[in-house]
A and B are shown apart, each in its own frame.
Chain A
């Protein structure tokens, strides 16, 4: 297997992508210090404490993350990550995102993009000149909106300087799970993601409000068809969203409320819908007073007076966001994400912080990341496929448009936004552990530069390998990629691939490190 040169790759990518920006070089192709692997060994490998922070608070360390962590110190680095708005975003990420035409499309344009594709293919030559977004040469394709959102999610997780924000966005994406293959969610999820992202480290109340007003959520959990009781037939409001709002998004523990509470919440949410485009803004949140049940309600003992209309929902938002069960539910989930099994004393401390900070996620996380349970914890957490793939890209300084990665994530079972149930992708190791085969094939494809619009700089890796013995090479790679490096005997057997030096021994060694059991843990 010969190495694919930059130039060959660029040419190939140009053919595959069909179009590049004017310079002839897509933004994600630009040179970048992170991609040059010849200096791989310049900084000492991460210590166990550094591994712990970088493996949990990012989707796997890049060399630049480790350098910055050392410059700022752990507390300074964490503090910076908790305030993402203060972190300048990487230019190459912004340029790569700018390539995605539908990422910032409003619901109407996104809808048109998704539904015009059949016509568009038929009139492709004309389309190139009259394209709605004015960019010649690109034809909308079915699934473009959701594919580009998944691509953007990979790009941000891989390249964003706001690494913790990307981790939290994934956390809330699971918490407020929406399957983007569901009906109108195909084009509405993109706007939902846009609203959720800047709130990921803010107040939970604001996140909850964004989700309750999210057209994608109202479609996914059927609330857009939730109307007050029909007196003629006796048919009742639709309970779907009300139930999941209590069970998944806020209170958690199903013994904390009854079906009466669910039905009362369903009444509160009658008339919360999505604009049809006919006298209503298409794909935006709308409140339909004539579909709303304006009678008095009681939820968990709290009275909602009659005649409040939309303000019922505001009262519900405050009641749920501040409910002790909600707080307990959230802190438990955050602990499970960053620590694993945590003692109830930690839950209690975090719940206290939630209350005193007015539900500020960054304050709760600051307390969590300071805690001895996090800093000194030893429980390994199995990387889910997304974390696995992105950590491989970050560890090897890979460059990518994200497109080919999404295909592999699908094979691994974790394409972003594709979980079919409203509870989000599972987090427990047992659910994922048996599914390593597509991970292994991803690693094999990655080290051979066989993933579309994705490559690692193998030439610079060769430079790194020069003047080093096979043992030194393997030890160095193992210490840079694995929090728990290979044993001496494992290193020795890996090093034998290099003697006599074979042209693709380095690729084989990289693949084996990414495929090793050690790389599956964070």
Chain B
């Protein structure tokens, strides 16, 4: 099918549109954008293994798709991409999207909450107090003291980023203190004084919020939108991705951002329920890549979910919790346009005793490779303790 969203030629923005790179705000490596698909995304639905001889019989109504423009995009004769993700086809073909299949937790955890704790905590600790990204950012970058080094988009801090001095960002357009003009500057000065000394969590966090507000002053000078071909959806996820791109372009010292996308727990009527979600996800994610086309070399996106889903659908046209799913790695400096991992197979003897796709790649191997090769993390030993990653070669 014709690419509906071609990457535009680079149209460099005039320098005055950019904020001046702040001294001491220099990321070591690529900016890492982590997208967590909440609820357990069905990797086999996003990227059908139509070449597997058991695929059609096993998947029932969910497998009634043909590698054609309407039903599914054929990626390599064995794996496909769901047609509702078609906006990502160009991203894949241009080498800016790699897919990892058969990836997940090395232990069989089928509870949302236990599995989420594991993929965000980066270990099998029963009650983790910090996350793998938080541990990465817990080591200071001497060259980057920017307050917006690590951020989560949303209104509560996800475990993955806990343990670091990270900021929580709502809608950037609303990120200002609504103090009447006549009260300033005395009012904000007094507020800062109330937060100046305490070492409790509230005081520390409040200082972080004040720093954030100071850092965001001037972000308005950065164009809110990229190329017109960067067509983000006007939903929460689209806005959050657009604003992360805005922060990257503003060069405020951002090194990591976390975005959650809810709604993947497709126990019933999966085809109907996931269609809009897939379309919105694919559209905004491809828009992000288009938006940052001229600086993709310093951006890496990873997409993960707490688990994949049961290979066979249930009685309600949905799928129950399973094991292996898919991960996405996007951006520059990767060998995209390929499906990575060892395919575990859908045969009766290949699935586990409960009918789940087996995990052949530990999710931490993908994350470790990205953190090591792209983000240039120097604290991998602490990020994933007691884990020996096996790199898949995604980062070239």
Residues in chain A within 8 A of chain B (CB atoms): 1, 221-222, 225-230, 233-240, 243, 247-248, 254, 259, 380, 382, 411-414, 420-423, 426, 429-438, 440-441, 444-445, 448, 486, 490, 493-494, 497, 504, 508, 511-512, 515-518, 520-521
Provide the residues of chain A in CB contact with B186, threshold 8 Å: 497
Q: A435–B268 Cα gap in the complex (Å)? A: 34
- B window 30-86: CB within 8 A of A: 38-39, 60
Q: A234–B314 Cα gap in the complex (Å)? A: 9
Flag if B179 contacts A227 (CB, 8 Å): no
Closest 5 CB pairs of A and B: A413-B155, A434-B168, A225-B316, A433-B205, A517-B202
Q: A312–B277 Cα gap in the complex (Å)? A: 37
Flag if B268 contacts A238 (CB, 8 Å): yes
Given B114, B315, B316, B320, which contacts A254 in the complex, CB threshold below 8 Å?
Answer: B114
Closest to B200 in A: A517
Given B167, B174, B194, B354, which contacts A259 in the complex, CB threshold below 8 Å?
Answer: B354
Given A222, A254, A436, A438, which contacts B111 in the complex, CB threshold below 8 Å?
Answer: A254
Provide the residues of chain A in CB contact with B198, threshold 8 Å: 517
Task: Indicate whether B1 reaches chain A with its CB closer than 8 angstroms.
Answer: no
Minimum C-beta distance from A504 to chain B (A)? 7
Flag if B170 contacts A227 (CB, 8 Å): no
Flag if B170 contacts A438 (CB, 8 Å): yes
Q: A221–B112 Cα gap in the complex (Å)? A: 13
Given A382-B201, A411-B170, A517-B203, answer yes or no on A448-B314 (Cβ-Cβ < 8 Å). Answer: no
Given B112, B167, B200, B315, which contacts A421 in the complex, CB threshold below 8 Å?
Answer: B112
28 A-B contact pairs sorted by A residue (CB < 8 Å) = A1-B180, A226-B316, A229-B315, A234-B312, A235-B60, A235-B312, A240-B265, A243-B111, A254-B109, A254-B111, A382-B202, A414-B155, A421-B112, A423-B112, A430-B162, A433-B201, A434-B167, A434-B205, A435-B156, A435-B168, A436-B206, A436-B209, A437-B175, A437-B177, A445-B178, A511-B187, A517-B195, A521-B200
Q: A221–B182 Cα gap in the complex (Å)? A: 51
Task: Indicate whether B321 reaches chain A with its CB closer than 8 angstroms.
Answer: yes
Closest to B112 in A: A421
Given A222-B316, A437-B177, answer yes or no on A516-B113 (Cβ-Cβ < 8 Å). Answer: no
Closest to B171 in A: A411
Q: A438–B209 Cα gap in the complex (Å)? A: 10
Provide the residues of chain B in CB contact with A380, threshold 8 Å: 200
Flag if B314 contacts A239 (CB, 8 Å): yes
Minimum C-beta distance from B48 to chain A (A)? 19
Provide the residues of chain A in CB contact with B195, threshold 8 Å: 517
Provide the residues of chain A in CB contact with B170, threshold 8 Å: 411, 435, 437-438
Flag if A247 contacts B263 (CB, 8 Å): no
Q: A413–B72 Cα gap in the complex (Å)? A: 37
Given A235, A422, A431, A441, which contacts B178 in the complex, CB threshold below 8 Å?
Answer: A441
Provide the residues of chain B in CB contact with A448, threshold 8 Å: 180
Closest to B130 in A: A430
Provide the residues of chain A in CB contact with B110, threshold 8 Å: 243, 259
Residue-wise, chain B 159-197 has the 8 Å CB interface mask toward A (1 for contact) of 000100011101000110111101100110011011100
Flag if B208 contacts A434 (CB, 8 Å): yes
Minimum C-beta distance from A119 to chain B (A)? 24
Closest to A412 in B: B155
Chain B contact residues, majority secondary structure: loop
Flag if B178 contacts A444 (CB, 8 Å): yes
Closest to B163 in A: A430
Flag if A429 contacts B194 (CB, 8 Å): no
Flag if A431 contacts B206 (CB, 8 Å): no
Provide the residues of chain A in CB contact with B180, threshold 8 Å: 1, 448, 504
Flag if A1 contacts B182 (CB, 8 Å): yes
Provide the residues of chain B in CB contact with A222, threshold 8 Å: 267-268, 316, 318
Closest to A260 in B: B354
Interface-centre pick from A227, A431, A521 (highest chain B CB count, 10 A):
A431
Given A227-B315, A236-B314, A239-B267, answer yes or no on A435-B194 (Cβ-Cβ < 8 Å). Answer: no
Apart from the given pairs A236-B312, A434-B152, 16 other A-B contacts in the complex at a CB distance below 8 Å: A237-B314, A238-B316, A243-B110, A248-B113, A254-B109, A422-B112, A431-B157, A433-B157, A437-B209, A437-B213, A438-B174, A504-B180, A504-B183, A508-B187, A516-B194, A520-B202
Q: A248–B320 Cα gap in the complex (Å)? A: 17
Given B166, B183, B263, B313, which contacts A508 in the complex, CB threshold below 8 Å?
Answer: B183
Q: A382–B178 Cα gap in the complex (Å)? A: 23
- B window 93-115: CB within 8 A of A: 109-114
Minimum C-beta distance from B196 to chain A (A)? 9
Provide the residues of chain A in CB contact with B168, threshold 8 Å: 434-435
Provide the residues of chain B in CB contact with A517, threshold 8 Å: 194-195, 198, 200, 202-203, 206
Flag if A444 contacts B111 (CB, 8 Å): no
- B window 196-223: CB within 8 A of A: 198, 200-206, 208-209, 212-213
Closest to B151 in A: A434
Provide the residues of chain B in CB contact with A240, threshold 8 Å: 265, 267-268, 320
Q: A522–B35 Cα gap in the complex (Å)? A: 33
Given B38, B157, B314, B320, which contacts A420 in the complex, CB threshold below 8 Å?
Answer: B38
Given A222-B268, A508-B187, A517-B195, answer yes or no on A434-B166 (Cβ-Cβ < 8 Å). Answer: yes
Provide the residues of chain B in CB contact with A433, threshold 8 Å: 157, 201-202, 204-205
Provide the residues of chain A in CB contact with B174, threshold 8 Å: 411, 438
Provide the residues of chain A in CB contact with B38, threshold 8 Å: 420-421
Provide the residues of chain B in CB contact with A236, threshold 8 Å: 312, 314-315, 320
Q: A421–B114 Cα gap in the complex (Å)? A: 13
Provide the residues of chain A in CB contact with B267, threshold 8 Å: 221-222, 238-240
Closest to A380 in B: B200
